[in-house]
Structure 1
Amino acid sequence: MQTSIFESVLDGPPFVIYPAFIIVLLGIRYAWAIYNYRQMRKDNTRKRQIPPSYPALFPYLGNTLAFAWNTGSFLANATSYKGSLTATRISLLGFKLYVFQDRETICKIMRHPYLSSPMSLYVFGERFLFGMPQRGISEYIADDSGPSVKPFPGSNVPCEKRVDYMLHKAFNQAWTGHSLTLASRRFVDTLVSHIDDLNISGEYIYVNDLFKFFGRAVSASVTQTIFGASLLQLNPDIIDNAWTLDEALPWMFRQVPSFIMPRPYKVRKILSNQIRMWYSYARQWFTESSIFPDGDGDPFWGSKIIRHLQQELLKNGDRGFIDDECFAAHDMGLIWGSNSNVISATMLVAFHIFQDPTLLRRVRSELEDNFGQSFSIQNINHKDLWKLPLLSSVYAEVLRLYVDVLLIFPG
């Protein structure tokens, strides 16, 4: 008499029956999750319904494995349905998150006063990526006052501890208007100096890695513009260390522990020590007379924004409510944030232009038509470059194709 597979399993030992039973239950649960997800997607009558939960095979783990394995692909699939962008609820180790990428939703959230604060993103980045100690994270979390001049209703955070507002104000002043113009001029002068140090001849040369050859010069120029020449002089390998950390951040974002990947955590510690050594040096040698004639830059702190944050948050080393070790994580994040996407996009723009001879000729013609055949980049206003339609379109297309930005908002 023949027996079915089901009967064979039931007659088997417990170590076969129990796993088989669990697999069957997980399969039924997953099938129901898929069915329920699709049904909620079809239901367009409830305009204000909560976004449906994205199907997951395992309870509690939820979508954690798929998210960790290929974050970009998972988020792309989770935020689209039948070719249209949509919002979805995902589960990561018991935490419920709402993910979306459509422009309309993002614009609405960015305009909402209680959701416009990037503090959640700061806390996540400083804690998991740049290693800020818990005492510093606690100060960030405690600030519920928001980024505006007027604190959120119900907030009792003292003025001197309003981290969100101080950072928002400092960044807004530094990266707009006259301050941005001054920083752009210093960047161009610094970039020309770094490129001259490469000793590029008039003949074509072959390099194995365009980024290592040219990108490091651009990255060093950006960092020196913001943080000053002293940071790079004291730490000649800090740019290499920063990019080594950058390569590992996708895994640190997934919270892979140090005993599995020790090197990134060691590099992060080295960067923290390098930044704190620069703090001590700059405090010892900086004077008001060190400030450049433009009123913004200086060789020790680099720029007005860094001097301002040192004064407001660290009290110039006199132990503000955030100490040097904590704020070194913040500056590590600022070094990364001012370089990662910007430098990568710049290198990709250069790569695509040089790869296409026709595009290269057109870009050169556009530059020569607007600035002359023997122009110097140091004599060009950065705002005039924005007005070049071809060059701007190449840059915009690179951003569209390659650059992803993840924003985190509080619930």
Structure 2
Amino acid sequence: MPVTEKPHVPRITSSARLFTSAVSASEYSLFVMPADSLSIIIVAFLATVVTYYSFKRTMGNGAKYPPAASHWFPLLSHTRTFALGDITLASTFLKQCRENIPVRFHGIGFDFILVSGTNLIRKALTTDSHLDWNHTSAQMFGRLFNAPKRICDATAADDSGVGVKPYPGSYVHPGQRLIRNQVLFFNDAFSKKSMDELAPRFLHNLKQRHTDFDIGETWTNLPDLYIFLRKFIFRCGIVSFYGQNMLDLNPDVEKEFTEYDGNIPFLATGLPRFMNPRAFESRARCLAAVKRWRQEAIRQSEGQQEEDTEWDPAWGLGTIKRRNKLFDATEGLFDEDATAATDLATMWAFTSNVIPATFWLLFEILRDEDLYKRAKDALNTTRNADGSFDTTKIINNPLLQSAYSEVLRLHTASMMTRTVKKTHELDSWTLKRDQTVVLSSHIEHHNVYWNTMDASGRDHPAEAFWAERFLTPEGDFSLDGKQGKYMPYGMGEHMCPGRHFAKYEMLLTFVVLVDRFEIELSSPQGWRPDNDLSRYGFGALHPKQKVEARIRMRP
């Protein structure tokens, strides 16, 4: 019998599909015109004229501005592409991008420059006083996590950068360097001291969690491997970061958070509540959950002697408690609503991407019998004398590291966004002040650069999963020469600080699952579910179709 049942989660369309109700009706007639020869000639002529003048504009006034991506209709430009979203948006990006030539996309409600190619990416993501992410961060903080307006305004006004010293000309109050505070918190959360507390705690919780499922030594069917994995990981991560209080006070937090996370693409659009009230309701329930947790943590801490430890029963990971000092230093900027928004943002950052990424790691290894055997053999080399696993050996194993990296290359689609603070030259291209600059890991990870041939002469195209792609001829793991080409976590000082623990989470979960269970896929040989591109830009992509499997406890 099935071990889990998928909870009801409303299907949330991509940001642009929801936009269809507002703009697509006016466009529809344009796309159903009679396909006679004259119409085709006229449309082709208009497209050619628009494209020509777009490129001609790049050379005007002595400045070389990025050309616009080709489109059919001057007024609507690329609106229809974004209205359709999903695979249409992803394929358009792949088709229209130009290596080391920035390209402009614009339409109703958006205008940005898409940058591709190692040279431009390195320059665009180098932290300096010209490109920063405070405006995008402020916008998303409000839309995704319901941060109060004063917090969003303060974030947008924070032009101080992330360094120890603020950018020249910045006069932000030291305590209100909110972007810098984010970096300080995450650097503390994933410091060696915190990791020495966090990694063993997470591994312990994984080992405990596997007994919570009604799985014996006879085969049990899994209607959806992804749902099972989500149930397996979510609670382990929450308890490892926040302590048991978060679950005890909020027994439905997994269900509520799953619905909220499914609505993230909609919330990011900034569209009104009436278009999807459940998105706002699920977010409100998650905010209420973290408020209950924080109130209880404060209550349990009252009257206790202040201790700076890496774990606190009331607060969870020590860095979460220490962040309160950063809140206090803002001189009243953070109230209950602001701290709740920050706590929810942290929970989302800790859990949303690692679960689908771990699914893909498990799936890609299980679907290849030879790879599965070699992965298990690799795990056996990481055992201590008492049979336990050495976590350091696990995360440093070349084959496992390469498979992990290949999963992130093939199954993530992160969007890195910057705002031009003043007119700036990016190579020979002029970027105007307040222009938005976007980089897509999906584009770079599907570049022909990744088309590879192994020692036996077998081709491994960029669209295929090849576990050994990051191994040298000597069998060592290496990312040499891949800066600006491989960037699932971004680049530079803004690179995701949680990347090291995400690697622990993915590999340790895989270890515990294959050590304690036998798992077999029920899907056809060679089949793989599609990436769900409705979450394009938010990191790890969910599987679009269900993956049936069966599982049993190892004797």
TM range (shorter): 0.7 to 0.9
Decide whether the 8 Å contact of 1:349 with 1:395 is kept in 2.
yes
Decide whether the 8 Å contact of 1:245 with 1:264 is kept in 2.
yes
Partner in structure 1 of residue 363 of structure 2: 351
Counterparts of 1:149-160 in structure 2 under 5 Å? 149-160=164-175
Aligned partner (choices 295, 300, 304) of residue 318 of structure 2: 304
Secondary structure of 2:332's aligned partner: coil
Partner in structure 1 of residue 467 of structure 2: none
In structure 1, how many angstroms separate the alpha carbons of the residues matched to 2:251 and 2:406?
34
Partner in structure 2 of residue 132 of structure 1: 147
Partner in structure 2 of residue 13 of structure 1: none
Secondary structure of 1:124's aligned partner: helix
In structure 2, how many angstroms separate the alpha carbons of the residues matched to 1:221 and 1:290?
27
Relative to 1, partners in 2 of residues 1:328 and 1:284: Cα closer, same or farther, differing over 3 Å? Answer: same
Query: Cα deviations across residues 264-320 of structure 1 (Å, max 9, x unaligned)?
Result: 11101111111112111110002667979xx312222111221122232157xx983
Unaligned runs of 5+ in 1: 1-18
Relative to 1, partners in 2 of residues 1:115 and 1:185: Cα closer, same or farther, differing over 3 Å? Answer: farther
Aligned residue identity for 2:346: L
Aligned partner (choices 67, 71, 89) of residue 74 of structure 1: 89
Aligned partner (choices 415, 423, 441) of residue 406 of structure 1: 415
In structure 2, how many angstroms separate the alpha carbons of the residues matched to 1:66 and 1:30?
16
Counterparts of 1:13-28 in structure 2 under 5 Å? none
In structure 1, how many angstroms separate the alpha carbons of the residues matched to 2:225 and 2:305?
39
Partner in structure 1 of residue 464 of structure 2: none
Secondary structure of 1:367's aligned partner: helix
Bigger Cα displacement from structure 2, 280-289 vs 233-242: 280-289
In structure 1, how many angstroms separate the alpha carbons of the residues matched to 2:310 and 2:291?
22
Partner in structure 1 of residue 248 of structure 2: 233
What is the TM-score with the length of structure 1 in the denominator?
0.82
In structure 2, how many angstroms separate the alpha carbons of the residues matched to 1:165 and 1:238?
30
Return the structure number with greater helix share: 1
Query: Cα deviations across residues 341-375 of structure 1 (Å, max 9, x unaligned)?
Result: 21111111112222332222111111112326973
Decide whether the 8 Å contact of 2:263 with 2:279 is kept in 1.
yes
Query: Cα deviations across residues 64-85 of structure 1 (Å, max 9, x unaligned)?
Result: 3312421564255336558857
Secondary structure of 2:105's aligned partner: strand
Partner in structure 2 of residue 369 of structure 1: 381
Structure number with greater Rg is 1
In structure 1, how many angstroms separate the alpha carbons of the residues matched to 2:135 and 2:384?
48
Return the structure number with greater strand share: 2
In structure 2, how many angstroms separate the alpha carbons of the residues matched to 1:299 and 1:165?
27
Secondary structure of 1:148's aligned partner: coil
In structure 2, how many angstroms separate the alpha carbons of the residues matched to 1:71 and 1:48?
34
Partner in structure 2 of residue 386 of structure 1: 395
Partner in structure 2 of residue 204 of structure 1: 219
Query: Cα deviations across residues 234-265 of structure 1 (Å, max 9, x unaligned)?
Result: 11221222221221222222334321211111
Aligned residue identity for 1:233: D
Partner in structure 1 of residue 177 of structure 2: 162
In structure 1, how many angstroms separate the alpha carbons of the residues matched to 2:133 and 2:64?
26
Decide whether the 8 Å contact of 1:290 with 1:299 is kept in 2.
no
Partner in structure 1 of residue 235 of structure 2: 220
Aligned partner (choices 283, 307, 328) of residue 268 of structure 1: 283
In structure 1, how many angstroms separate the alpha carbons of the residues matched to 2:386 and 2:221?
25
Decide whether the 8 Å contact of 2:163 with 2:180 is kept in 1.
yes
In structure 2, how many angstroms separate the alpha carbons of the residues matched to 1:303 and 1:95?
39
Relative to 1, partners in 2 of residues 1:217 and 1:299: Cα closer, same or farther, differing over 3 Å? Answer: farther
Secondary structure of 2:112's aligned partner: strand
Secondary structure of 1:250's aligned partner: helix
Relative to 1, partners in 2 of residues 1:141 and 1:261: Cα closer, same or farther, differing over 3 Å? Answer: same
Relative to 1, partners in 2 of residues 1:364 and 1:64: Cα closer, same or farther, differing over 3 Å? Answer: same
| 1:257 lines up with 2:269 in the alignment | no
Aligned residue identity for 1:34: T
Relative to 1, partners in 2 of residues 1:49 and 1:85: Cα closer, same or farther, differing over 3 Å? Answer: same
Bigger Cα displacement from structure 2, 151-160 vs 28-37: 28-37
Decide whether the 8 Å contact of 1:121 with 1:407 is kept in 2.
no
Query: How many corresponding residue pairs?
Result: 381
In structure 1, how many angstroms separate the alpha carbons of the residues matched to 2:57 and 2:396?
46
In structure 1, how many angstroms separate the alpha carbons of the residues matched to 2:98 and 2:162?
36
Aligned partner (choices 96, 99, 102) of residue 111 of structure 2: 96
In structure 1, how many angstroms separate the alpha carbons of the residues matched to 2:322 and 2:369?
46
Aligned residue identity for 1:215: R
Secondary structure of 1:104's aligned partner: helix
Relative to 1, partners in 2 of residues 1:396 and 1:191: Cα closer, same or farther, differing over 3 Å? Answer: same
In structure 1, how many angstroms separate the alpha carbons of the residues matched to 2:300 and 2:259?
30
In structure 2, how many angstroms separate the alpha carbons of the residues matched to 1:374 and 1:363?
20
Secondary structure of 2:106's aligned partner: strand
Decide whether the 8 Å contact of 1:128 with 1:253 is kept in 2.
yes
Partner in structure 2 of residue 32 of structure 1: 49
Bigger Cα displacement from structure 2, 152-161 vs 171-180: 171-180
What is the TM-score with the length of structure 2 in the denominator?
0.62
Partner in structure 1 of residue 200 of structure 2: 185
In structure 2, how many angstroms separate the alpha carbons of the residues matched to 1:116 and 1:228?
38
Secondary structure of 1:334's aligned partner: helix
Percent identity of paired positions between Structure 1 and Structure 2: 24
In structure 1, how many angstroms separate the alpha carbons of the residues matched to 2:90 and 2:410?
16
In structure 1, how many angstroms separate the alpha carbons of the residues matched to 2:306 and 2:239?
15
In structure 2, how many angstroms separate the alpha carbons of the residues matched to 1:332 and 1:62?
36
Aligned residue identity for 2:416: L
| 1:145 lines up with 2:160 in the alignment | yes
Aligned residue identity for 1:343: I
Partner in structure 1 of residue 352 of structure 2: 340
In structure 2, how many angstroms separate the alpha carbons of the residues matched to 1:206 and 1:226?
31
Greater relative contact order (CA < 8 Å, ≥ 6 in sequence): 2
Secondary structure of 2:353's aligned partner: helix
